[in-house]
Chain A
Amino acid sequence: MEEGENAKMKSILRKRRKKMIYIILVIVLILGLNFLLNPLRWPANQIRNRLLNQTPIGTSMEDVIKVVEGNKKWEIENIRYDFGYTSLEPPFDEIGEKSITVYLGEYWNPLVVDVTAWYGFDEEGKLIDVAVRKDVDTL
């Protein structure tokens, strides 16, 4: 009788253990997918390509603003009608006559990594280039 109860108990514990392992695996899988599928973790040039797919060269400033505003995770930091943005590469020329700075978000690596995009427009307000940079906040 006692042996039977022990066996039953063992079986219940085994099932619970299995359940726990499945739960942990699912959590690890979700975290892993979140890590892999988070576009902010992509290299900066791939993020830039994705932005250019959404708003190709020649897109109007108004349309770019609409697309950016449509993404709840993004934040427009600055819209400038008097200056372009500073190129991220030497000789650090001004790109365009107008510009928009967009904060795309952050992730932990484990340090905080911020991702920012700059859109440059010509005098007519047509998109001429996009730049993306990741800033690691560290000492």
Chain B
Amino acid sequence: MDPSGNIFVPRRTLETYINLEPLPTAKTDYLNGNSVSVYLGVHQVKFGPIPTGNYHSSVIIYASHDSDIYKENGDMFNNSYADGVSYATLGAGGVFNLKADLNRKKDKNLNIKKEMINLNISDETTVGQLFELHNNYTTKQSSSKTKYSYFPGMFNDSSKYYNSNSYAAGLLKAAGVENIPTPENKAPGFKKPLPNYKFGIHGGGRKR
């Protein structure tokens, strides 16, 4: 028993000897003491009830309710995670064109995530930039459409077609995130990021 009165049972012991399902863990502290943090969430896409073996990635941003970005944009952080912590997701999908949205249903469902990759972003400026770049894309997506393909480049001209993984990788790249880790699971399109101009960045600097 620990000092606070909780009963402490070594987890490995229980799983090994009693052969139980893995014990539910306490909620992960994604903020790690920071006011914000950014992760790449990865989940498997299904055709109806059938898993496809292909994975979708989206950007998940956690913010403390004390952070400036939460105070100013709390409406975007529409998903509560823990006491004083909420999160927002930036992701895309498509049928004919690539459409990005804030807080897409499956993007914000943390229970289906196969991977949560820490992108080691803890400054509010970069987070603000991610939202701004996402808004740049979504503002133009109706007039300047991006062609969508489930497998960019497999059945079509690879230079014109993108998917949700291209979106997540492109968004991070446009925000200047370096050494973007690739998901371990099969995420077609991730290595073909959406170009910077799709997020309103032209040439060397941001378009104002």
A interface residue numbers (CB < 8 A to B): 77-78, 80, 82-86, 88, 90-92, 94-95, 99, 101, 103, 106, 108, 110-112, 114, 116, 133, 135-139
Contact = CB atoms under 8 A, between A and B. Distances in A.
Contacts of B93: 135-139
Residue among A91, A116, A136 with the most chain B CB within 10 A? A136
Given A85-B78, A86-B102, 15 more contacts: A78-B79, A78-B80, A83-B78, A90-B138, A91-B139, A92-B139, A99-B75, A110-B48, A114-B104, A135-B104, A137-B93, A138-B56, A138-B150, A139-B45, A139-B150
B74 interface: yes
Nearest to A82: B74
A139 B56 contact: yes
Contact of B105 (A84, A137, A139): A137
A112 B105 CA distance: 10
Contacts, number: 87
B139 A101 contact: no
Contacts of A85: 75, 78
A139 B188 contact: yes
Nearest to A97: B75
A116 B78 CA distance: 13
Nearest to B164: A139
**B: interface residue count bin:** 20 to 34
A95 B187 CA distance: 35
A110 B47 CA distance: 6
Interface of B: 45-49, 54-56, 74-76, 78-80, 93-95, 101-106, 135, 138-139, 150-151, 163-165, 187-189
15 contacts: A78-B79, A80-B78, A83-B75, A84-B75, A86-B78, A90-B135, A92-B102, A92-B139, A110-B47, A111-B46, A114-B105, A135-B101, A137-B105, A138-B164, A139-B164
A91 to B, nearest CB: 7
B135 A138 contact: no
Given A91-B139, A110-B47, A138-B94, A86 B75 contact: yes
Contacts of A136: 93-95
B74 A139 contact: no
A106 B165 CA distance: 23
Contacts of A92: 102, 135, 138-139
B78 A138 contact: no
Contacts of B104: 114, 135, 137
Contacts of B74: 82-83
A112 B46 contact: yes
